């Protein structure tokens, strides 16, 4: 699946890009993971981890804020899914391909922002970014509390899929 996103820069929007490819690749890689010991089926539905408040479903934001929020989500997903504690029953090549695609899209998004992106980032939806940080912190806490078991990772796999769906919905408004 060596295709990449098409990135177009316009004066009004820091970066417009197509997320269908990443969403499709992520779903394929996440579906290829074996269901592990708890038998959590991959239904494509959004499942919330016990004790974790989900990231807002309505992520309607102006394009510059949407791009920064998508980047923030992708960086957290990469950090979580690149953990050395992922279960052995996950297919290594599918996970590796997914991480490569995530890194590729993160890199492209970062290039869409000016050199002073950190300053622009502070203008973004601070409460939403704090909620995202808290949500991914909760995911890490969930994994730790369940000693990084294959079953816990299967729940995280479902949450990752839900995040890709949110990124897809978020970025639809940027086209």
Residue 11 has pLDDT above 60, yes or no: no
Residue 29 and residue 128 in contact, taking contact as beta carbons nearer than 8 Å? no
Report the mean per-residue pLDDT for the chain.
69
Residue 52 has pLDDT above 90, yes or no: no
Q: Which of the residue ranges 67-71, 113-117, 171-175 has the most confident prediction, judged by mean pLDDT?
A: 67-71
Query: Region 63-86: what's the mean pLDDT?
Result: 87
Residue 138 has pLDDT above 50, yes or no: yes
34 CB neighbour count, 10 Å cutoff: 12
| Predicted pLDDT at 111 | 81
Residue range 11-172 in CATH 3.40.50.920: no
**Cα–Cα distance, 98 to 92 (Å, whole number):** 10
* 156: Cα within 13 Å, side-chain hemisphere: 31
**Cα–Cα distance, 7 to 166 (Å, whole number):** 19
Q: Confidence class of residue 16 from pLDDT cuts 50, 70 and 90?
A: very low
Tell me the pTM. 0.68
């Amino acid at each position: 699946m060596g295709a990449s996103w098409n990135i177009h820069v316009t004066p009004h929007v820091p970066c417009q890009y197509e997320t269908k490819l990443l969403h499709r690749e992520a779903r394929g890689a996440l579906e290829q993971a074996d269901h592990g010991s708890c038998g959590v089926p991959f239904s494509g539905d959004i499942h919330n981890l016990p004790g974790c408040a989900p990231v807002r479903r309505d992520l309607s934001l102006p394009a510059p804020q949407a791009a920064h929020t998508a980047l923030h989500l992708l960086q957290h997903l990469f950090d979580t899914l690149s953990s050395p504690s992922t279960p052995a029953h996950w297919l290594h090549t599918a996970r590796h391909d997914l991480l490569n695609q995530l890194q590729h899209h993160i890199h492209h998004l970062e290039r869409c922002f000016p050199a002073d992106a950190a300053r622009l980032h502070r203008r973004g939806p601070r409460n939403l970014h704090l909620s995202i940080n808290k949500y991914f912190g909760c995911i890490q806490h969930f994994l730790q509390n369940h000693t990084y078991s294959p079953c816990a990772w299967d729940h995280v796999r479902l949450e990752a899929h839900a995040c890709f769906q949110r990124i897809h919905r978020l970025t639809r408004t940027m086209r």
